[in-house]
């Protein structure tokens, strides 16, 4: 949700290979804890969007650092969209830009 901009339930199911009942429970917990919000999709009233709230956005630097660590030490090749996180200067700019974008969605 933070790094790749996912916001629909179907995107999480498809990209994360997670059982729908587990995903439903985890999303509900995050909503209950006010880490993310669930709002009606303005483009399709039958669907909902999941959006990060301030506590989730504040985690962005931590998640970026963990991702950078994984890129450095994992034997698995990182996806191309994660590579900017490997360079400390690029990571800092990426975090700042993404934090601004996510905060702007709430306004």
pTM of the model: 0.82
Backbone torsions φ then ψ of 81, nearest 5 degrees: -70, -10
Please check whether residues 45 and 63 belong to one and the same domain.
no
In tens, the pLDDT along 13-40 reads 887 778 999 999 999 999 999 999 999 9
Please check whether residues 24 and 65 belong to one and the same domain.
no
Please check whether residues 29 and 44 belong to one and the same domain.
yes
pLDDT at 106: 62
Q: How far apart are CA 31 and CA 36, in angstroms?
A: 5
Q: How far apart are CA 5 and CA 94, in angstroms?
A: 13
pLDDT at 66: 93
Report the domain count for the chain: 2
Please check whether residues 43 and 76 belong to one and the same domain.
no
Written as six digits, the tokens of 6 are 């996912």
Tally of CB atoms within 10 A around 50: 19
For the chain, give the longest Cα–Cα distance. 43
Q: How far apart are CA 5 and CA 55, in angstroms?
A: 16
Q: What is the mean pLDDT of each run of 10 residues along the chain (107 residues)?
A: 89 86 96 96 93 94 92 88 87 92 77
Please check whether residues 71 and 30 belong to one and the same domain.
no
Q: Any idea what the CATH number is for the domain that residue 45 is in?
A: 1.10.10.10
Domain that holds residue 81: 59-107
pLDDT at 79: 83
Please check whether residues 38 and 22 belong to one and the same domain.
yes
Please check whether residues 1 and 44 belong to one and the same domain.
yes
């Amino acid at each position: 949700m933070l790094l790749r901009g996912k916001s629909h339930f179907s995107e999480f199911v498809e990209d994360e290979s997670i059982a729908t009942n587990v995903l439903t429970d985890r999303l509900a917990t995050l909503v209950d804890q006010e880490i993310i919000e669930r709002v009606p999709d303005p483009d399709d009233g039958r669907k909902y969007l999941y959006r990060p709230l301030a506590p989730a956005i504040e985690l962005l630097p931590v998640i970026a650092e963990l991702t950078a660590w994984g890129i450095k030490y994992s034997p698995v090749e990182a996806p191309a969209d994660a590579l900017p996180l490997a360079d400390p200067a690029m990571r800092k700019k990426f975090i700042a830009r993404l934090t601004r974008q996510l905060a702007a969605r709430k306004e």
